[in-house]
Amino acid sequence: MTDATADSFEVLGRRPRGPASFLIFAALLVVAGAVLYPVLATALNGVKDLSEIRTNPLGLPRVWMWSNYWGILTGYRYWQVLGNSLFIALFTVFLTLAVASMAAFTFAHLRFFGDKFLLNYLQLGLLFPVATAILPLFIKIRDLGLLDSYWGVILPQVAFSIAMAVLLLRTAFRQLPSELLDSAMMDGCGYFRYFFYITLPLSGPILSTVGIIAFVGSWNGYLLPLVVFNSESRYPWTLGLMAFQGQYMTAWQLVLAFITLTILPAILMFLLAQRWIVAGLTAGAVKS
């Protein structure tokens, strides 16, 4: 990464000197190793034969069955379910950011009758376990004619993300200096323009964070797509996994290989989001 981008990432003062820097790096490596080990084990088990998973789940494969991964990658199903998951997740992220940032902006800067009440109302969404509400939710989706359609999954997912997103975005929006808004208003800038030209561009990090959280939530979603989709052609990858489960045995090596392959797009999104926001921060400097 170039130094300019590094600048915007690393915010805590000068590079720590000598031994401190080394110690920190070593500590990070140790933690990273411990954290990564289970994920690596998942990936490695995807290269093993099924029988080896039972007797050697955490070691290197004795026989490297690359055909497991290759078979998945060359199959049509993988790309189809991946495409579905991507479509759903991207639209969920886009809509969540749009809808939640608008609402968060309103709550951050405008005082009106019932605003505290409405904010608390939205918060309630965090406090009730989703699993209980799946039956009435299904009926709503059905009555709106959204069964077996992507929107039947996207819209509820956006709705569920709103509570957390609004809270995070509102907190971040309020940490922009209030003098900015005052002077902007005195210059004749309305709320709409302020939102699009100042708030959003300055909120890169939090927008990217909320986007990632919404993406991951949608990407790993299982129960909602299960009750909404009937056509196999629309299955996201979490439902596509069912193909590996059988009566006599579950092909765990294929399940784990498949899951490993589906983490990759999520990682890609993560890196893209971080980079994109950084680019937004260093390019176009905001002058009044």
Q: Which of residues 144-203 bind another protein (CB under 8 A)?
A: 144, 147-148, 155-156, 158-160, 162-164, 166-168, 171-172, 174-178, 180-183, 185, 190-192, 195, 198, 202
Other C-beta atoms closer than 10 Å to the C-beta of 24 total: 11
Binding of another protein at residue 26 (CB under 8 A)? no
The window from 63-71, 75-83, 85-93, 125-133 that contacts another protein (CB under 8 A) reads 125-133
Q: Cβ closer to another protein: 76 or 187? A: 187
Residues pairing with 250 in the sheet: 245
Phi, psi of 245 (to 5 degrees): -100, 135
Q: Cβ closer to another protein: 51 or 74? A: 51
CB of 275 to another protein, least distance (A): 8
Q: Measure Cα distances from 201 to 11, 170, 271, 277 in Å.
A: 18, 15, 19, 9
CB of 190 to another protein, least distance (A): 5
Torsion of CA 184, 185, 189, 193, to 10 degrees: 80
Measured distance CA(17)–CA(160) in Å, rounded? 45
CB of 67 to another protein, least distance (A): 15
Measured distance CA(66)–CA(83) in Å, rounded? 23
Length of the chain: 288
CB of 152 to another protein, least distance (A): 10
Q: Total residues contacting another protein (rule CB under 8 A)?
A: 141
Q: Which of residues 47-106 bind another protein (CB under 8 A)?
A: 49-58, 98-100, 102-103, 105-106
Q: Cβ closer to another protein: 78 or 270? A: 270
Provide the token pair at 91: 């639209």
